[in-house]
Structure 1
Amino acid sequence: MPRLVLIGPPGCGKSTVGGALASKLSIDFVDTDTQIETSFGHKISDIFVDKGEAFFRDLEFAALAESLQVSDCVLSLGGGAPIASRAQELLKSCASPIFFLDVSLAVAAPRVGFNRDRPLLLSNPRAQWQSLAETRRPIYESLATFVIKVDSMSVEEVVNEIAAKL
């Protein structure tokens, strides 16, 4: 199983922090979004447009289930990966600590850029992000072993805080 799992909304830094943390711990970094794009051969935004959200969520669940079998890695989940109840059940049965990287819209906006590669944020991206974050927050919090408010923290500070909690 993974050494730890990172969850949170788009723009919270899961991929950046995950890569840096894996490097610091000298273990592998697994990102479910990257796994999906690699295995399916298309960008997530294209999968959403061409196949629909339900199809993507099935791919995402498969990537989650597969990733939870990878031993001693840092696992980063796409923002929506832990939202379905079947995914929550998998995560609750996982013994790995789960870190919710909590971020505000003001900090996430420049990171996300609200571009076309975020399919759920296409129309009125700021309002969409805020709505997604508010809807998903209780789920993230219920799954989290630790919550880290990353707004005023550098990547190195977030990495060091997570490492200290391990």
Structure 2
Amino acid sequence: MTGPAAVLIGLPGAGKTTVGLALADLLGVPFRDTDDDVARLAGRPAPNVLRERGEGAFRLLEHRAVVAALAGHTGVLSLGGGAVLHAGTRLRLAGCRVVHLWADLDTITQRIGDDGSRPLLEGDLRHRLAQLTRVRLPLYRQLATVSVRAEHRAPREIAQEIAAALATTP
């Protein structure tokens, strides 16, 4: 199989970056986050791009970043929580080892807290997360090769579970 060793998807606050870094370390491969790629492409932080250009333009830029990362990265790749909303991105993920990290809303709400750097979560955080869950969860489930709970455990432990699951997944 070519492409990334694992592609992490999930809601904001599910632990994609933290667990992704632990998984990359465990596997001895590099880690890459497409939010960083979006920021490089746009010349400004990803949340600023979202605020300034709107979600539609952001998703197109994000799709470009995902396509490039899928083609050129062999380590662990973390996607932004909404990357799966773009149909082209979903098509590109076919055949990849996609790991859905999920946590309950209480855990995610606690992790995010009053972090103002997430434009799509402004306002009533719990309500916004519930809305995102309704839309995105079916897509995460459709794309996932492996689904792992990412709560109440250390990132290294979650990474070990993912590595074990991927070892038995074609």
- Smaller-chain TM-score range? over 0.9
- Residue aligning to 1:50: 52
Q: Give the letter aligned to residue 86 of structure 1.
A: G
Mapping for residues 93-108 of structure 1, pairs under 5 Å? 95-108=95-108
Find the aligned partners of 2:22 and 2:138 in 1 and give their Cα distance.
27
The size of the alignment, in residue pairs, is: 164
Gaps of 5+ in 2: none
Task: Confirm whether residue 33 of structure 1 aligns to residue 51 of structure 2.
Answer: no
Task: Confirm whether residue 83 of structure 1 aligns to residue 95 of structure 2.
Answer: no
- Residue aligning to 1:118: 118
In the TM superposition, what is the alpha-carbon distance from 1:110 to its structure 2 partner?
A: 2.0
Find the aligned partners of 2:160 and 2:142 in 1 and give their Cα distance.
23
In the TM superposition, what is the alpha-carbon distance from 1:52 to its structure 2 partner?
A: 1.2
User: Pairwise CA RMSD of aligned residues?
Assistant: 1.2
- Residue aligning to 2:161: 161
Structure 1 residue ranges, 4+ long, deviating more than 6 angstroms after superposition? none
Please identify, of 57-66 and 104-113, the stretch whose mean Cα deviation from structure 2 is larger: 104-113
Find the aligned partners of 2:98 and 2:93 in 1 and give their Cα distance.
8
Q: Deviations over 1:13-71 (max 9, x none)?
A: 00011111111211111100111112322112211221111111111000110010124
Checking the alignment, whether the CA contact within 8 Å between 1:9 and 1:102 is kept in structure 2 is yes
Find the aligned partners of 1:43 and 1:129 in 2 and give their Cα distance.
22
Checking the alignment, whether the CA contact within 8 Å between 1:45 and 1:116 is kept in structure 2 is no
Checking the alignment, whether the CA contact within 8 Å between 2:26 and 2:160 is kept in structure 1 is no
Find the aligned partners of 1:71 and 1:49 in 2 and give their Cα distance.
28
2:31 alignment partner, SS class? strand
Please identify, of 22-31 and 112-121, the stretch whose mean Cα deviation from structure 2 is larger: 112-121
Checking the alignment, whether the CA contact within 8 Å between 2:14 and 2:102 is kept in structure 1 is yes
Please identify, of 4-13 and 115-124, the stretch whose mean Cα deviation from structure 2 is larger: 115-124
Q: Percent identity?
A: 37
- Residue aligning to 1:19: 21
Query: What is the TM-score of this pair, normalised by structure 1?
Result: 0.93
Find the aligned partners of 2:53 and 2:30 in 1 and give their Cα distance.
30
Task: Confirm whether residue 131 of structure 1 aligns to residue 131 of structure 2.
Answer: yes
Query: What is the TM-score of this pair, normalised by structure 2?
Result: 0.91
- Residue aligning to 1:65: 67
Find the aligned partners of 1:98 and 1:13 in 2 and give their Cα distance.
15
Gaps of 5+ in 1: none
